[in-house]
Structure 1
């Protein structure tokens, strides 16, 4: 089906669900194209990135689900890349035609799984010419999570040793590249199928978690970035130096991991990523310079959103999955 043309129909296609549940609650519907308010822009979405929070929220898990349960139906998606088509009052930084990407509608509004989306102008960054908009859609939430975890929470410095769990995934493959770019010694846990992918990124050591216990290989670490959570997060505390710090990302188990750290007398922090166009500009510059690459594993159409969620939920995606919303 051809994408709707707003000048002709005034409507757009977008994904919604009106109840929490399995993948079959996801459906594509048509609605009027929204209008940007003050400080907002309307974006013609080319790509919408998928993130684990998307399927967890769809199942009714986590913080966002509690915030939106009384305002369903809801359009998911926080990662959008596309072209500005209209700007609201007071927007001076962007004009129609600008190629942009951003973490939009976070955490309660969402809306990226759509042909058009409203975004706060201050949440958007300009997409480098070298980066196509489908790939750009895979950047915002995952890259910002990696950036904020490494440089704001862990305060990673050149020469430090870091262990990154699930280093081939969405957040992981950005974290690996940021840590290397910062001059850290990077150790990664991953499955053997991702060894070559990680070697190409420049990782110093890859530990196959199927065959090797990382706690026997790693000790005296300055930083652990735990993208797995639960028992993996707790066991990782054993690998820290006295002054080391662990940052755990999965919010469901973060309190448990932090409590275990307190009992052991080591440092651990949970975190929630947030939109930040300034950081996104810095990340875009690294991409522009060729220092960071975005790996998109697979692209789906809006109509294939259930299949995209099936793959996302499996938890073994290399890099990112993106919906092509054109």
Structure 2
């Protein structure tokens, strides 16, 4: 069985208008994969950076060759390879697919290795795709703080995709969480019922606490002086990771970065706590696949909160 798939990505790096649609035929399915019809994906900052030609994924792009984008997938299985025994046609699944060297979830169809997928309820809404990369990033970053769980943890960019999930996951894991934000009265933070501290108050004193930095850059550097020595700092943005960690070490902190991994058991755990009502995915806005440039523009305006969802 063959399908005509529409996939969005870049041939030349650039702004959001550089996003290009390519139609391609998916023919013979690999016996070890399943074919899913995408219901939704979501936009992540790594998609923006890659489209711009920044970061480690962009470095792998061949010149003048099409690179598809997108890592989050929610869809329904339409075909199962002959060697796949644990998934069946008609099941709904989510996954962080192709990370990091094979993005391609801005698409209508996708061939996927079963180990990247978790079966979910057919009644899930398109917002569930936003749980994958952002949720895995938040969970795996927070695990680096296990030895420091007795101390408060500041989480920056708490209304963003990773941030709003990190707040909820941290609470579920038993952390004393503080949202560190320029928007202390934001309705999303009120809904999440977390402690909140504005930056002006944060800079007034030092804090014996951990720091999960989701912003990076010079801004991330500016936070380090306010954390007392021998505390744990974890930074997520890869472009400034080395700079942040080097400065944190100089100040006497324990520091590290995190690059997300598609660990199936982690995604199963995330879905289990999602189903239990302990975390939820806040959908800011939804765009259809043909409007993916508008979705990128919307993220780059920096006024969004939670997740930006793409419906196929």
TM range (shorter): over 0.9
Query: Pairwise mapping of residues 240-279 of structure 1 onto structure 2 (< 5 A)?
Result: 240-279=227-266
Query: Pairwise mapping of residues 280-295 of structure 1 onto structure 2 (< 5 A)?
Result: 280-295=267-282
Instruction: State the match for 2:136 in structure 1.
Output: 144
1:52 and 1:198 map into 2 onto residues whose CA distance is 21
Point out where structure 2 has 5 or more consecutive residues left out of the alignment.
Answer: none
Residues 35, 42 of structure 1: 8 Å contact kept: no
Q: How many residues align?
A: 312
Residues 6, 107 of structure 2: 8 Å contact kept: yes
TM-score (norm 2): 0.94
Instruction: State the match for 1:220 in structure 2.
Output: 208
- Cα-to-partner distance string for 1:163-222 (whole Å, 9 max, x where unaligned): 000001000000000111122221112233752211211212x2234xx1523255000x
1:11 positional shift = 1.2
1:34 and 1:50 map into 2 onto residues whose CA distance is 27
Local SS of the residue matching 1:255: helix
Instruction: State the match for 1:162 in structure 2.
Output: 153
Residues 79, 103 of structure 1: 8 Å contact kept: yes
Query: Pairwise mapping of residues 5-84 of structure 1 onto structure 2 (< 5 A)?
Result: 10-70=3-63, 72-84=65-77
Instruction: State the match for 1:3 in structure 2.
Output: none
TM-score (norm 1): 0.90
Is residue 122 from structure 1 mapped to residue 109 from structure 2 by the alignment? no
Query: 1:178 and 1:156, CA in 2 relative to 1: closer, same or farther beyond 3 A?
Result: farther
Residues 158, 182 of structure 1: 8 Å contact kept: no
Query: 1:269 and 1:171, CA in 2 relative to 1: closer, same or farther beyond 3 A?
Result: same
RMSD between superposed Cα atoms in Å:
1.9
> Which deviates more from structure 2 when the two are superposed, residues 275-284 or residues 12-21?
12-21
2:147 and 2:185 map into 1 onto residues whose CA distance is 24
1:11 and 1:129 map into 2 onto residues whose CA distance is 24
Query: 1:270 and 1:288, CA in 2 relative to 1: closer, same or farther beyond 3 A?
Result: same
1:300 positional shift = 0.4
Instruction: State the match for 1:181 in structure 2.
Output: 172
1:235 positional shift = 2.6
Instruction: State the match for 2:197 in structure 1.
Output: 207
1:217 and 1:131 map into 2 onto residues whose CA distance is 44
> Which deviates more from structure 2 when the two are superposed, residues 58-67 or residues 17-26?
17-26
Residues 176, 186 of structure 1: 8 Å contact kept: yes
1:118 positional shift = 1.6
Residues 91, 122 of structure 2: 8 Å contact kept: no
1:98 positional shift = 1.1
Residues 128, 288 of structure 1: 8 Å contact kept: no
Residues 123, 277 of structure 1: 8 Å contact kept: yes
